[in-house]
Amino acid sequence: MAEELTVSEGNKEEKYATLLPQLKAIIDNESDIIAIMANVSAAIKETFDFLWVGFYRVCGSQLILGPFQGPLACTRIAYGKGVCGSAWAEKRTLVVPDVDAFPGHIACSSSSRSEIVVPFYKDGEIAGVLDIDSERTGTFDSADTLWLEKAMAALGNRLSDSSDSGECRPDGIVVYCASSSNVEQCYLDAAKEMGEKIAKAGFTLVSGGGRMGLMAATIDGAIAAGGKATGVLPHFMIEKGWAHPGLTRCLDTPSMHARKQTMASLTVAAVALPGGIGTLDELCEIMTWRQLGLYHGEVVVVNTNGFFDPLLDMFNRMCRQGFMRGNVTPVSVVSTPDEAIDHIRRHIAHNKS
């Protein structure tokens, strides 16, 4: 299709009737999904002059910003949060006449007054959403829903027929562990083995990316086994030179909170090895996210040399005294890296069945 758009001068229905065949041509005549999303966004924006038109792609427990037209947007949206996250969770198109009246609305732009979010699918699973914002209240109605769902159905068919899903499919296992090297050798050895096992199982190691301690040992183990290691560090740590030099990929985040959120979004499971207060912070937060349905991966503690026994006793005490939701601790406990990988594989296989 030539990079030229025909825009009807008629009413909304007439504009959509002219636009839809052109959107289908964009979708059918291009093999790259990102390019398709970019031109679909541009075509809708040019036709209707909406404030913002763009895509968010499913990536783990979050929606990640894709191609769009309009002002700067939120980069990540959690499952069930805001209009986009709610449309994903509810698996349906959401039309919001007044965003200020929508509980939990995420105000990426203060100019947005109304919104429509339309999910699109790949092989029966939501792969992302089309998000459109207007500067006026009450902009979107059943006509927008009808025509945009037709467009997203065409995109879904294209995705299902293509090896390029347009999704950010996580393939990582995040490992939380100590950045200190002043520990017994058995912990460092187990950490290196964890990295090796993750790599040999075909997963990407995701970690805090540090150059010291158990964190470095996991990275060394993954790289030595021919695997990939992604490190996620807040900018101040990168400036201090704390990143491991052997990382396959180093991601720079603006804050510690964004660091943890990014690590979770890249992964299908979380593993805790022995560590200090930072490790406990990461472990307890991912357990909380798991309990609340914000993280869908398995959470595993590798209890090397009985390190976590006192903490596990505390978790059990919380259960006995009614402080743990459902009297269930949202974590699985194993003794070795081998057991951790086996457990994660079973969890993934169970979820696919």
Average pLDDT for 47-73: 92
> What band does 334 get if pLDDT is binned at 50, 70 and 90?
very high
Cα–Cα dist 79/75, whole Å = 13
DSSP state string for 122-166? ETTEEEEEEEEEESSTT---HHHHHHHHHHHHHHHHHHHT-S--S
Q: 87: pLDDT confidence band, cut at 50, 70 and 90? A: very high
pLDDT tens readout for residues 272-322: 999 999 999 999 999 999 998 889 899 999 999 999 999 999 999 999 999
Say what the pLDDT of residue 31 is: 82
Q: How far apart are CA 95 and CA 203, in angstroms?
A: 39
pLDDT at 168: 60
3-state DSSP call for residue 255?
Answer: coil
> What is the average pLDDT value for the chain, to the nearest integer?
92
